[in-house]
Structure 1
Amino acid sequence: MRLAGFTEVSPLGAGAFGRVVLAREDSSGAVFAVKYLYDQNPTARAWFRHEAGILRHVVSPHVARLYAFVEQPDGAAIVMEAVPGVPLAALLADGAMSPESALTVLKGSLLGLSAAHQAGTVHRDYKPGNVLVQPNRQSKLVDFGIAVLAGQSGAPVGTPNYMAPEQWSQAPATPATDVYAATCVFFRCVAGHPPFAGDDLRAQHEHAPIPADAVPEPLRPLILRGMAKSPAERPPTAAEFVAQLESLAANGYGPDWESRGWERLAGKAATLLSLTPLAGIAGVAGVSGAGAGGVATSAVAAGSAGAGAGTAGVGSAVGGAATASGVAGGVGGGVGGGVAGAASSAVATTGVGVTAGGGAATATTAIAAKVAIGVLAVAAVTTTAVVVVHNSSADEPTAPPAAQVSASVQNRAETFPTFRFNGQVVHVTGIADKAVAAKVDQVLAKPVDDWIAYTKQGLAAGGLVPPTGTPSATSEAHIVAQTDQMVSARYDLTIEDAGDAFGNHGGYQAVGLTVDLTTGKQVTAANAFPKAASSSDGAAALDALLTDNAPQGFCEGEDQPRTPLEPEYLRDNTVQVMYAGDGMQFLIAPYSFGYPMACSMTVVSVPYAQLRPLMDVHAAALIPEG
């Protein structure tokens, strides 16, 4: 499988179940990380689809953003933000870091987890490989492959070094589950090793004393609270833990603790990033990293400016066979380790030496580092095996249900000084993000709001023939299609008993629209078909499909030749788009194509299979399944 509309820039990794590439979108020039799954196992697909579903609802600068999920008969793909960062695991290869740096990493991670918790999701696999540290003093959380909705138990999956006691016993996951894992990683950052080691990790996590004495005294209250055996004794949310962390950090390490923590992290992250295919992204973005030897103005420059700390080992473990270069690559830690059933035997771990000081790395080392860090940087692999406790073919994990998003038609009636409005509006419920929900409602109500404003304006201007009674405006709403990602609707709007203020036969307008339920933004014809909206050749290609699917033209009874589709017709909403079950519906104003004004708005339906090559990848990802 290969996504249409994308040009692959660089491979980032490959394994038994899929591959990850850095790709540039042809229409916008933007660079993305694309995770391909070519395992046809239905359970693997379900987990892949589930990860995309989780990410749609988690929007935060501290979480790698999902742009699209595309599923086709020959595979599936997740289009993700290409994060110019390196995994925390790579930064820990030298051992412990300063308390200020560890606190800085923990704070950024907790903010990302907090966004997930607000969306009703528990990550369940927070670990060093799932945290990307950027030279621009930001960090991002990645890989929601085994996340579940808060309160669900899910499969007993996780990374043993960081699994909370309730995960081992398959109790319901809560935000406190993630707080435990984040605290264990924080412990490792400060102490240089995980809190527990050895054979029986479950018993230690459930019963062994918390080794708080291994960290500096100011940090012990955080360790003791975050690693409490009972979820009820931990901070209930990541957001609450952040508040405690900031207070403790300021008291123990001064008000500038975070700035000092980032000074150390940013320089080292920039050094490692300069060896990856993602370095170009950081350079274009103007990322700067500071090292002990001075301030660098780009990721590449930082690689030589940062005075160093010897050798950093970059390790990766994946659910598949190693590539020819000796660096293992894989897709989806949760998929490779859990679903494919190869958590123990098929996991390859490799250590790669990267020179982080003033010396130059060898060519072999640099190439290997590019692959290892690049794969990690898009959340494609894990740094340790993902273990499935007591997993067998009889009890394979299933993806949790999607949020119950539902669209309905509601009545709306209002009385104004000069007219009455009695109509319908489409409303959507079940969207977890309240801000997105508000945007969705605003977009869906806009045709009605605009029609009311138009009615007021027309009646105020008046006409030659006065109204015979009280004018009335109406809206009839129809839900054309709805999934958990989008809703398409059509409004038929009328004005009656208004004299000739809106023409001899009153006012009429039809409006078709689609709104993305993950962002709250309207999907316009120009969004869906950017090439057709920006070039005559693109418009001609789309026009040919409209002609093929409407050979009788756009106005019944009129056999005159019509004028061609122009790019501006998509930009000014002369052509509107709605997703339907069997194809995309184009709501068209015939008079714009040379037909008489008496011609009514018409709908032309075009099969999705014909439209996909012309569509923007984000718009194509919204196509209903089946």
Structure 2
Amino acid sequence: MATLGAGGMGEVYRARDTRLGREVALKFLPNLFAQDAQRLQRFKREAQILASLNHPHIAAIYGLEEHRGVLFLVMELVEGPTLSDRIAQGPIPLDDSLFSAQQIAQALEAAHEKNIVHRDLKPANVKFTTEGKVKLLDFGLAKALEGEAAESNLSSSPTISHAHTQAGTVLGTAAYMSPEQAKGKETDKRGDIWAFGAVLYEMLTAKQAFGGETVTEMLAGVVRGEPDWSALPNETPAIVRRLLRRCLEKDVKQRLRDIGDARLEIEEALANPASGGLVALSAVPTAQPLGADFCSGRCWQAWLRWLELACGAPGATPSRMQ
């Protein structure tokens, strides 16, 4: 077996399924599972639910096995780089970012329809196949692993950060946590929507929406800070900028409620890149300050004609507008 990676959810190895003649990924779970019967049972239930997901953009779970007391998952092996690898090379072009975000949204939508929440969406959990298609990994496993010990470096690789509060347990990866997760409050699919916005922002800018040198700085940014919106490429459509702000709304009640709505807006941006509603904000003229030089000549005539039309003045028709 060849090691593929390691993190808060265990170690992953490449292996050969000799019975079915295919390459697979084996995820060996932390030893604490074998010592906690309740947690182990909860994980088995979660794995059964995840196995019911059948979607082209979600890495499949083939089985939950145990060998000599060691528990491991048999999963689809996804060849290709992670989204983290792609971002490390610099900002991803707008069209490529939107195509990838569209597929991520499709995967989240399919899971949310079955009441499955990812809880740990981040670039490291998104892979590209050799055909360039997106595959989401570790779907829903964060929920099953609730209560796991924290890793020391939460800025990139860890899956579980742990902080006991009166409200509960902080679960997720610091840079992509929603404010409610960071506060240890109950979370739902809107936590995934927040993480989706953070991932899309990072694809476009190659910067974390809420970065920092320490976990404390990251969480402070999530709870009180704002992304650097000026870092978005100038050609970013207005509809995409608006979507990012709605996904990264700190008030969960004001946040975008359904990832399907995000998918629709991204599809609109892809289908109508030249439509008026998709003009990049940098291309929209800024408002002029009111004052003596605000408007003159033909501009005043146009405003007067518009007022006549709006007020229903006799003889005012659009054809008279200059």
Same fold (TM over 0.5): yes
Q: Is the 8 A contact 1:212 1:224 kept in 2?
A: no
Q: 1:99-118 maps to which residues of 2 (within 5 A)?
A: 99-118=94-113
Distance 1:177 1:213 in 2: 24
The share of aligned pairs that are identical, in percent, is: 29
> Which residue among 191, 205, 222 is the counterpart of 1:177?
191
Distance 2:246 2:122 in 1: 18
State the one-letter code of the partner of 2:217: D
Report the RMSD for the aligned CA atoms in angstroms.
2.8
Distance 1:94 1:16, change over 3 A: closer
Q: CA deviation at 1:82?
A: 1.0
Q: CA deviation at 1:11?
A: 4.2
Distance 2:98 2:168 in 1: 30
Is the aligned partner of 1:212 residue 2:229?
A: yes
Deviations, residues 408-449 of structure 1 (Å, cap 9, x unaligned): xxxxxxxxxxxxxxxxxxxxxxxxxxxxxxxxxxxxxxxxxx
Q: Give the structure-1-normalised TM-score.
A: 0.36
Distance 2:89 2:175 in 1: 19
How many residues of Structure 1 are paired with residues of Structure 2 in the alignment?
243
Q: Is the 8 A contact 1:226 1:234 kept in 2?
A: yes
Q: Give the structure-2-normalised TM-score.
A: 0.67
User: What's the counterpart of residue 56 of structure 1?
Assistant: 51
Q: 1:542-561 maps to which residues of 2 (within 5 A)?
A: none
Is the aligned partner of 1:236 residue 2:257?
A: yes
Is the strand fraction higher in 1 or 2? 1
Distance 2:206 2:7 in 1: 30
Is the aligned partner of 1:196 residue 2:192?
A: no
> Which residue among 2, 8, 20 is the counterpart of 1:28?
20
Deviations, residues 273-326 of structure 1 (Å, cap 9, x unaligned): xxxxxxxxxxxxxxxxxxxxxxxxxxxxxxxxxxxxxxxxxxxxxxxxxxxxxx
Q: Is the 8 A contact 1:213 1:220 kept in 2?
A: no
Is the aligned partner of 1:78 residue 2:76?
A: no
User: What's the counterpart of residue 85 of structure 2?
Assistant: 90
State the one-letter code of the partner of 1:157: L
State the one-letter code of the partner of 2:209: P
Q: 1:399-548 maps to which residues of 2 (within 5 A)?
A: none
> Which residue among 123, 139, 143 is the counterpart of 1:147?
143
> Which residue among 127, 131, 147 is the counterpart of 2:126?
131
Is the aligned partner of 1:120 residue 2:115?
A: yes
Q: CA deviation at 1:17?
A: 8.5
Distance 1:76 1:40 in 2: 10
Distance 1:90 1:46, change over 3 A: farther
Q: CA deviation at 1:57?
A: 3.1
Q: Which runs of 5+ in 2 are unaligned?
A: 145-166, 276-322
Is the aligned partner of 1:248 residue 2:262?
A: no
Deviations, residues 161-213 of structure 1 (Å, cap 9, x unaligned): 11111111222222111011011111111112012223533332223345333
Moved more, 199-208 or 13-22: 13-22
Q: CA deviation at 1:16?
A: 10
Distance 1:252 1:135, change over 3 A: same
Distance 1:90 1:74, change over 3 A: same
SS of residue in 2 equivalent to 1:58: coil
State the one-letter code of the partner of 2:170: P
Distance 1:39 1:62, change over 3 A: same
Q: CA deviation at 1:26?
A: 2.4
Q: CA deviation at 1:63?
A: 0.5
Distance 2:168 2:196 in 1: 19
State the one-letter code of the partner of 1:213: S
Q: CA deviation at 1:231?
A: 2.2
Larger radius of gyration: 1
State the one-letter code of the partner of 2:180: E
